Amino acid sequence: MIKALLFDLNGTLIDIHTDEWHDDVYRMMSNLLDYQGIYLSPSDLRKVFFDYMKRQLRHSDEKYPEFDVEAIFAKILHKYATVRTKKLSEQKLTLLPNFLAEAYRAATRFRLELYPDVIKTLDTLKKEFIMGAVSDGQSPWVVPELKRVGLKKYFDFIIASGDLGYRKPDPRLYRQALHKLNVRPEEVVFVGNDMYRDVWGAHQAGMKTVFFKSNQGDHRSHGVEADYIIYHFAQLPEALEFLDKE
């Protein structure tokens, strides 16, 4: 019997488009840092940002490492601080990495909307199932974006890979979710849009899976098949009814 549902977020519930390579992102962030006494040209900032990200991932001991965007901006603030930067209040310096992470996401984000019928479907499912979210994302972005599209209230918990240093399909993400749900793996259905990170990973943890073939994610099989495939989110209740009879 299915008792709980786990959802991937971006590409499954949320149709999001970001462009981390857009020139305007680094022009804006360079200007913003200028007000903090950090003087990096847009091109230099782009290089520094991605160099620090690559260094984080390279030095990680994890099989599936995740970067920490706040740590990247904290490093930039420390490395390139000027006398003007050091004169900022302690409170502002403490808050700046989080604020810069939010500003960066705002600059890179070009679309944030729900797939059709997500709210209607979740309203129905919430009456019957415990529901949680497991996202490969940074917590300064995940929770505000969930609130923005009106989804946070549906989930009993949200696990964000950016808080942990590793990402799907690392089995620890699924184990943490199972611990929070307090149910057996075979009583859980994972709903995602990526055949490797979502479907393969959840199968390794013993969960059933529904693959939402959206406009995002890896659609290759990776040696495993989803237990059910949907092409419109409104088909999810039908998928769950089918899987509950197996």
Q: What are the residues facing 222 on neighbouring strands?
A: none
Pair type for strands 188-192 and 157-160: unpaired
Q: List CB contacts of 58: < 8 A, sequence separation 6 or more.
A: none
Q: Which amino acid is at 159?
A: I
The answer to whether 104 and 25 have CB atoms below 8 angstroms apart is yes
Please give the chain's pLDDT, 246 residues, in tens: 999 999 999 999 999 999 999 999 999 999 999 999 999 999 999 999 999 999 999 999 999 999 999 999 999 999 999 999 999 999 999 999 999 999 999 999 999 999 999 999 999 999 999 999 999 999 999 999 999 999 999 999 999 999 999 999 999 999 999 999 999 999 999 999 999 999 999 999 999 999 999 999 999 988 889 999 999 999 999 999 999 987
The answer to whether 122 and 7 have CB atoms below 8 angstroms apart is no
Q: Where are the domains of the chain?
A: 4-17+112-244, 18-110
The domain over range 4-17+112-244 is classified in CATH as 3.40.50.300 = no
CA distance 226 to 12: 14
